[in-house]
Amino acid sequence: MNARIIKELRDRLGKGRVLDSPVERVVYSYDATWGEALPDVVVLPLSTEEVSTTLKIANRERIPVVPRGAASGLSGGAVPVEGGICLSLTRMNRILEINPDELIAVVQPGVVNMDLQKAAATYGFFFPPDPASWDMATLGGNVAENAGGPRCLKYGVTRDYVLGLEVVLADGQVMRTGGRTIKNVAGYDLTRLFVGSEGTLGVVTEITAKLLPKPAARATVMGIFDEIEQACEAVNGVITSGVLPLTTEIMGGGCPAAGPRRTGGAAPPDVDATLLIDVEGWPSALAQESDVVARACQAAGAREVRRAGDEEEAERLWAGRRSISAALSNLGDKLGEDIAVPRSKIPEMVRRIRAIGKKYDLRTPIFGHVGDGNLHPYLICDRTDAEMMERVRQAAGETFTTAIELGGTLTGEHGIGLAKRDYLNEGLDPPAREKMLAIKRLFDPNNILNPGKMFAETEREP
Ligand SMILES: Cc1cc2nc3c(=O)[nH]c(=O)nc-3n(C[C@H](O)[C@H](O)[C@H](O)COP(=O)(O)OP(=O)(O)OC[C@H]3O[C@@H](n4cnc5c(N)ncnc54)[C@H](O)[C@@H]3O)c2cc1C
């Protein structure tokens, strides 16, 4: 990218908001995957107008633009693989409105999920999407990835809580979609189109989010199992007994051994799986619902069932789950995956993941949100061992095709980005894929927005 364009950006946006020193570019070169690539320049807008100015210049000059939030993404979406402009939205981080009468919040994209949760809590509300990365990920990133989290079984995913968006399109035009109402069927649902579009169709500059009243209380039950399949069965037992839990978090196949050592946590390291089920609502109902959960765990063959007596104990039971991704690093390098299957197929998927691990001689701890069908099988490896990494590649590919074969999907919440781009052929019906590419061409005819992500066809000529 030539000096003339960098100077124009600097003249239009002002000092300190356009970074191009090698050190600054390195800081913006990666996300939470193994991917890394240097942007030519980093732009830090403070307003929608500045995002629009940047996109107008980029579109005129045909320069790639990669929107970026906190870079906690797990599919390589924010890695600027084709150079160009890294558009960091983290300085657009104001909560513009919390409206208690309408139960909505209006926020800029750089607001961190946790900060919205804290602000909403002061009114007795909450924002249901709660990715485990909630203390770092931005709402712009949550919207772009349609983020999920442990509470999805009960509350759904990010798209279910986005009422309206302001988006800057590739040519710099500012477009509003949706609005402030729960009901809105005027025209096509462009809001939903942009949620989960991974920065390939436009830059989200404002989000109107739906909030909910915070339930009065919460109770936690932990089931400890000798077989991970028993834990899956317990979840079905709970749901079919008429209780809709808040969370159904499983940690199995080596997770308990990795987790508690780090956290001083709850489960003995020799068990195959632990299951954390939370229920929430009025305190008077919680005791009964916890009984149902405990009985379902026992009926499925739990070795032990623990019930948290208070918040502190619940936190102790949750500590191992919260730190599991970091704790698995104790076992070696790790490739974290993210498939989803219909709930009834979870036991089969777990069996198949274990068989894949055996076939490729790899350890495959699994954790996930059983109730909504979303599993995170991890492949433990050594990145310096080329032969092992080839086995990892094949095992990951087989895991994706197995999920699809069982009626599921390549990704439940982390997105396609770069990491799964080359598998998307298998993951989509061909006419649907073709229409998606047509939508990309319609919104971004010069292919400047996050090129090379999601679809291999959007890679640009070198
Ligand atoms: C420890 C850990 C736990 C995690 N747990 C979960 C989990 O439970 N559930 C879950 O869903 N994810 C999880 N993630 C993944 C990640 O946190 C989410 O995908 C999150 O939504 C990304 O937000 P971000 O601000 O970091 O976005 P980034 O990583 O910066 O960007 C992600 C994508 O969004 C695009 N983007 C960012 N901002 C905008 C914008 N304003 N407009 C348009 N496009 C934009 C980027 O171009 C990129 O394609 C986890 C990650 C980590 C590291």
pLDDT over 90, % of the chain: 82
Rounded mean pLDDT of 244-249?
94
Q: Residue 267: which pLDDT band, with cuts at 50, 70 and 90?
A: low
Q: How far apart are CA 130 and CA 124, in angstroms?
A: 16
Does residue 263 or residue 159 have the better pLDDT?
A: 159
Q: Residue 258: which pLDDT band, with cuts at 50, 70 and 90?
A: low
Q: Each residue of 198-213: pLDDT tens digit?
A: 999 999 999 999 999 9
Whole-number Å distance, alpha carbon 213 to ligand 1 midpoint, is 25
289: Cβ below 6 Å to ligand 1? Answer: no
74: Cβ below 6 Å to ligand 1? Answer: yes
What per-residue confidence (pLDDT) applies to 102? Answer: 97
State the CB neighbour count (10 A cutoff) for residue 38: 16
Q: Each residue of 25-81: pLDDT tens digit?
A: 999 999 999 999 999 999 999 999 999 999 999 999 999 999 999 999 999 999 999
Q: Summarize the chain as % helix, strand, coil (round to 5).
A: 40, 20, 40
Q: Each residue of 94-112: pLDDT tens digit?
A: 999 999 999 999 999 999 9
Q: How far apart are CA 259 and CA 268, in angstroms?
A: 10
Instruction: Tell me, yes or no, if the pTM score tops 0.75.
Output: yes
Q: How far apart are CA 200 and CA 439, in angstroms?
A: 10
Ligand 1, atom 49, residue with closest C-alpha = 77
Cα 422 from chain centroid (whole Å): 19
CB 362 within 8 A of CB 242: no
Q: How far apart are CA 403 and CA 409, in angstroms?
A: 6
CB 178 within 8 A of CB 191: yes
Tokens in use for 429? 């019906």
CB 350 within 8 A of CB 366: yes
What per-residue confidence (pLDDT) applies to 261? Answer: 53
pLDDT over 70, % of the chain: 97
Ligand 1, atom 44, residue with closest C-alpha = 199
77: Cβ below 6 Å to ligand 1? Answer: yes
Q: Residue 3: which pLDDT band, with cuts at 50, 70 and 90?
A: very high
Distance between first and last Cα of the chain: 13
Tokens in use for 216? 């009065």
Q: Does pLDDT of 265 surpass 70?
A: no
Q: Each residue of 278-305: pLDDT tens digit?
A: 999 999 899 999 999 999 999 999 999 9
| Beta-strand pair 273-281/247-252 | antiparallel
Ramachandran class of 82: left when φ > 0, alpha when ψ lies in -120 to 50, beta otherwise: alpha
Q: How far apart are CA 58 and CA 13, in angstroms?
A: 14
Report the 3 state secondary structure along 285-316.
HHHHHHHHHHHHHHHCCCCEEEECCCHHHHHH
Question: What structural domains does the chain harbor?
Answer: 3-90 (3.30.43.10), 95-213 (3.30.465.10), 217-325 (3.30.70.2190)
What per-residue confidence (pLDDT) applies to 264? Answer: 45
166: Cβ below 6 Å to ligand 1? Answer: no
| Beta-strand pair 304-307/374-381 | unpaired
What per-residue confidence (pLDDT) applies to 330? Answer: 81
84: Cβ below 6 Å to ligand 1? Answer: no
Q: Does pLDDT of 260 surpass 70?
A: no
Q: What is the mean pLDDT of the chain?
A: 93
Ligand 1, atom 11, residue with closest C-alpha = 147
